[in-house]
Amino acid sequence: MIASFVGLALLAAQATPPDSAWTWTLYTDEARVALANEVPDTPSLRFTLECDPASGVARVAFYGGAAETGMARVTAGEAVAVTESTAERGALKLTLRTDHPVFAAFAADGRMAAAVGEHRRAVEVPRPHLAKLRRFTELCSG
């Protein structure tokens, strides 16, 4: 019994990478721009932004936790937006225009939250990585 518990504890520890393994990575090519809060070279994601270059539209995904489909109230700083969200494989997904005040406030201070029903998700891009967020916004803006 104890051996089973120890085995399960080891699996749980492997499933949740330590905070030091997480980073923000900006990916760019001609067809897509992405900013990910991830553990590199693994499928572990906390948050992603994606866009087609110069499209003016960012696809936002919050990973982990419960996700609901419905209208999402998105906040950053004093700005508020309401947009439709979907729940796909445990991720809350929504879209925002990069010229919307919510996205501008997010790019300025790196904090954004989304609420659908009783479920709330938040993201914070640490100051050393804000340049990547601003570069993402620049590349995606139409």
How would you class 120 by CB atoms within 10 Å of its CB: exposed for 0-12, middle for 13-18, buried for 19 or more?
middle
The pLDDT profile of the chain, 142 residues, written as one tens digit per residue, is 444 333 333 333 346 678 778 999 999 998 999 999 999 989 999 999 999 999 999 999 999 877 789 999 999 999 999 999 999 888 999 999 999 999 999 999 999 999 999 899 999 999 999 999 999 999 999 7
First-to-last alpha carbon distance for the chain, in angstroms, is 59
How confident is the model at residue 15, as a pLDDT? 60
pTM above 0.75, yes or no: yes
